[in-house]
């Protein structure tokens, strides 16, 4: 299945620009996130002080607007977080976060109680929220998230389905003030910056099956 792949390798960076391996997506590095040993080679580390990657307005794509995900979508990435001192920190956001200015899209955050929250919101004002418990600090996890209007939101940890939500609730999500796809910060607020790492981020414009996820994990976990 074709995917947009962001390796976070230093070879993918030129100045303050990072580009996906297929060249289709480019983002700007802010506040000089630094390269460290990741799950696969090098990755970018966020230290909670304003570091982020801004991929600009993605409302015309499945990244930024679930209306464009006619076959659903899936995200796959390695995740590592350090102890938090705030209520929560955001790692991925094109909108959909349940707090602050409303915005449709996708969001992933870590909470102070070591739960990992996943959020999907549509322009039709439907919102899916799912939480996975017991995400240890200083530990790498292989995260897969799938979504479609019929299949709902499904979260896999290390290739195993851990949580599902097929019952969205209603929330006004359609304002267009917050349109950018960002890593390391919510797209509707300059704060709540991530403290940890993402590695080998991939985005598929299709809802992957559980067998697809298991197969990807078996290859990635080497």
Domains contained in the chain, number: 1
Residue 13 binned pLDDT confidence (cut-offs 50, 70, 90): confident
Q: State residue 85's pLDDT score.
A: 72
Q: What is the mean pLDDT of residues 43-60?
A: 93
Residue 104, pLDDT above cutoff 80: yes
Q: State residue 165's pLDDT score.
A: 98
What is the extent of the structural domain holding 209? Answer: 4-220
Residue 10, pLDDT above cutoff 70: no
Residue 34, pLDDT above cutoff 90: no
Predicted TM-score of the model (pTM): 0.93
pLDDT, one tens digit per residue, over 107-121 is 999 999 999 999 999
Tell which wins on pLDDT, 1 or 149: 149
Residue 6 binned pLDDT confidence (cut-offs 50, 70, 90): confident
* Strand runs labelled E in the chain: 4-6, 13-14, 17-19, 26-30, 34-37, 42-47, 52-57, 73-81, 88-93, 105-111, 116-121, 126-132, 141-148, 152-157, 160-165, 169-170, 180-183, 195-204
CATH number of the structural domain spanning residue 131: 2.60.120.200
Q: State residue 159's pLDDT score.
A: 97
Q: What is the mean pLDDT of the chain?
A: 90
Give CB contacts under 8 A, 24+ apart, made by 34-39. 35/10, 36/197, 38/8, 38/78, 38/197, 38/199, 38/200, 39/78, 39/80, 39/140, 39/197, 39/199, 39/200
Q: State residue 206's pLDDT score.
A: 95
Residue 193, pLDDT above cutoff 70: yes
Q: What is the mean pLDDT of residues 188-203?
A: 91
Q: State residue 119's pLDDT score.
A: 96
Residue 65, pLDDT above cutoff 90: yes
Residue 210, helix vs strand vs coil:
helix
Residue 209, helix vs strand vs coil:
coil
Residue 2 binned pLDDT confidence (cut-offs 50, 70, 90): low
Nearest to 137 by CA among 77, 80, 183: 80
């Amino acid at each position: 299945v074709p995917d947009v792949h962001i390796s976070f390798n230093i070879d993918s960076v030129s100045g303050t620009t990072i580009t996906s391996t297929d060249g289709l997506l480019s983002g700007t590095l802010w506040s000089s996130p630094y390269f460290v040993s990741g799950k696969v080679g090098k990755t970018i580390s966020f230290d909670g002080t304003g570091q982020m990657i801004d991929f600009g307005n993605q409302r015309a794509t499945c990244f930024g607007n679930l209306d464009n995900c006619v076959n659903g979508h899936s995200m796959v990435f390695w995740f590592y977080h350090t102890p938090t001192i705030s209520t929560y920190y955001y790692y991925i956001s094109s909108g959909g976060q349940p707090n602050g200015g409303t915005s449709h899209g996708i969001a992933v955050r870590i909470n102070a109680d070591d739960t990992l929250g996943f959020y999907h919101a549509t322009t039709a004002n439907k919102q899916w929220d799912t939480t996975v418990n017991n995400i240890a600090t200083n530990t790498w996890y292989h995260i897969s998230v799938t979504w479609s209007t019929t299949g709902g939101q499904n979260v896999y940890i290390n290739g195993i389905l851990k949580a599902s939500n097929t019952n969205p609730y209603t929330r006004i999500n359609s304002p267009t003030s917050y349109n950018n796809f960002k890593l390391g910060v919510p797209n509707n607020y300059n704060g709540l910056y991530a403290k940890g790492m993402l590695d080998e981020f991939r985005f598929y414009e299709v809802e992957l099956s559980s067998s697809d996820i298991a197969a990807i994990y078996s290859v990635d976990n080497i």
